[in-house]
Structure 1
Amino acid sequence: MDRPSPAPAPSAVPATAPASLLEDHSLEMTGKDVPGLEAAREHIPPGNRVNVTFLGNEEPGTRRAAARAVRAAGLVPVPHLSARRLRSRDELAGFLDGLRADGTVENVLVVGGDPATAHGPYDDALALIRSGLLQAHGVRHVGVAGYPEGHPAIATPELWAAVEAKNAALAREGLTGDVVTQFCFDAAPVLAWIEELRGRGVTAPVRVGVPGPAGVKRLMTYATRFGVSTSASIARKYGFSLTGLMGTAGPDRFVRALADGYEPARHGVVRLHFYTFGGIAATARWIAGFRAEEGHGRVGA
């Protein structure tokens, strides 16, 4: 008697539903986006992270107020620290003192910042990590930047050296961290970059930057600023036409492509980080709708 054929072995890495990448997603806002945050609150799961940018035209008090609003909403504030914008060690210490007084200091993101020349003693994010001031003021978790599609002013070998050095410094300082990437349009180079990051020994979670559903004109402006490709081919991959510049572009195609190629065994912990371009409420509504469509309709529950 013939024996029945054995059932096929289950895949070692199950297919990843696109919405699963949205678990514990994070968002970005400026100090002026507090009304938008309030409008978005019902769509953001409690405990999710909201980054507060460090813009040169916003005062420290504005950034602190935004971080307090994030905390009051039941979310985790992640204030940015822009190394080259800080004019002195005292300025950094003073800002961290304020965050500690507000109860918003445990999580920060450190970046080099836009100025080509440092305004003070900190040339880059690594200098902030090595300053000793972060943990002295109660910082416990530090995000650092990653650039899967490169940087317009920094060579690729330097970018790799920087992300490795920052993660090694965090470990030495007893701080946990994650890598938050520039926003991207094409999933393939992102996944390849994450795999190489793992091969270089960086095991920290990666938060892949995703453009929120901003108007295309604004999106293209930000893409140029962040050094992301704006070619017609990339636009097609993202799912919009350059002729429809007054429309909006949704990130669903990118999220689905990323989920299709994501393998936890190869890529480690990957989450999504949304750049909202001043539209945090619109982005939060889009995420809630996308998750509901994918069968995860518990956002805000």
Structure 2
Amino acid sequence: MALLNFKKREKPGATPVNGQVEALLKDYSIEVMPRTAEKVEDFRTLLPEGTRVYIAHIEGTPIDEMVATAKRIANEGYPVMPHFPARIIKDRATLADWIARYQGEAGVDQALVLAGGVVTPHGDYDSAIGLLESGEFDKAGFKRLHVAGHPEGNKDIDPDGSITNVSAALKWKQDFSERTDAKMAIATQFAFDAKPIIAWADSLKEAGIDLPIHIGIAGPAKLQTLIKFAIACGVGPSLKVLQKRAMDVSKLLLPYEPNDVIAELAAHKAANPDFNITNVHFFPLGGIKSNANWAIEHGGASTRPANPA
């Protein structure tokens, strides 16, 4: 059987793959939306076997489109993790219906449970805690539940810029993880500076929160695109990394790549094996293909059949 070799696809003349980066990129995940997934003819030409694919549920996206996207990606052989944004879920019956549809039509058994960025809740839920407390995921036998993390705070929850309420919510979720059979982890918002990420991760461990962290990283994109998304998503102090780059005329027109932040996190993890950041989660803001190719070139890859059964 012919093989597609995704292993260390380096550009001619490129610097050899950094082993520390390769180790950090192992088992990375990536996020898509129904409309962006439509642009990919076959994910098997881009993603290593076993790559977890999150499906972001934006307000206004019909559940039919979400389930169809999940089914299509699952049929191509990938574990799918759809978002369950609490503030757009009307009630418990709606939550149970979504879970049943994902499970029955696409074989989904994992979810990212989060509040969502909607200001006014559509119904009974305003936080991930409410969804988890419902017991519906446990009842359906979901094997993995991820929750949101915010290394630079979340102004929707802590308008004063602190991390008081965010930290309290994560402590509740840590306690919940000890009551559920599902594996849990924290998937974070993207940031651009490794130092505050490392400090935040260390602070969680000191607070007794030892859930694995899947750190959010923005994939390659035009600088203007990243700044727009960063402001819209409430990225904090690390936005200065992009602003500083925008002031450098020699870099202004070049696409941003996450080389520096990934390399620094990888070096820290190599020097601190018990570091609680275990995986990278990509936000492909400049396109799925460019993000997947960047990951392949930096060692985040494997060998898989060209036409898997």
TM-score range, shorter chain: 0.7 to 0.9
**1:202 match:** 209
Is 1:30–1:278's contact at 8 Å kept on the other side of the alignment?
no
Q: Deviations over 1:254-292 (max 9, x none)?
A: 11111122244441351100001261121111111122x
**2:3 match:** none
Rounded Cα–Cα distance in structure 2 between residues aligned with 1:122 and 1:107: 20
Is 1:288–1:297's contact at 8 Å kept on the other side of the alignment?
yes
Distance 1:138 1:22, change over 3 A: same
1:79 maps onto 2:87 in alignment: no
Rounded Cα–Cα distance in structure 2 between residues aligned with 1:68 and 1:199: 40
Relative to the length of structure 1, the TM-score reads: 0.86
Select between 202-211 and 259-268 the one with higher mean Cα deviation.
259-268
Backbone CA RMSD of aligned residues: 2.3
1:229 maps onto 2:232 in alignment: no
Rounded Cα–Cα distance in structure 2 between residues aligned with 1:221 and 1:166: 31
Select between 209-218 and 195-204 the one with higher mean Cα deviation.
195-204
**2:285 match:** 277
* 1:32 shift after superposition: 1.4
Identity of aligned residues (%): 28
Aligned residue runs from structure 1 range 1-301, under 5 A: 17-155=20-158, 156-229=163-236, 233-235=240-242, 243=249, 246-262=253-269, 263-277=271-285, 279-291=287-299, 298=302, 300=304
Is 1:27–1:274's contact at 8 Å kept on the other side of the alignment?
yes
Aligned residue pair count: 282
Query: Which has the larger Rg?
Result: 1
Q: Deviations over 1:194-214 (max 9, x none)?
A: 111122222222110000112
Is 1:212–1:283's contact at 8 Å kept on the other side of the alignment?
yes
* 1:241 shift after superposition: 5.0
Letter in 2 for 1:271: N
* 1:232 shift after superposition: 7.3
* 1:39 shift after superposition: 4.7
Distance 1:257 1:248, change over 3 A: same
Rounded Cα–Cα distance in structure 2 between residues aligned with 1:27 and 1:283: 9
- With CA pairs under 8 Å and 6+ residues apart, which has the higher RCO, 1 or 2? 2
Rounded Cα–Cα distance in structure 2 between residues aligned with 1:69 and 1:245: 38
Is 1:148–1:190's contact at 8 Å kept on the other side of the alignment?
yes
Unaligned runs of 5+ in 2: 1-17
Letter in 2 for 1:222: F
Relative to the length of structure 2, the TM-score reads: 0.84
Unaligned runs of 5+ in 1: 1-14
* 1:152 shift after superposition: 2.5
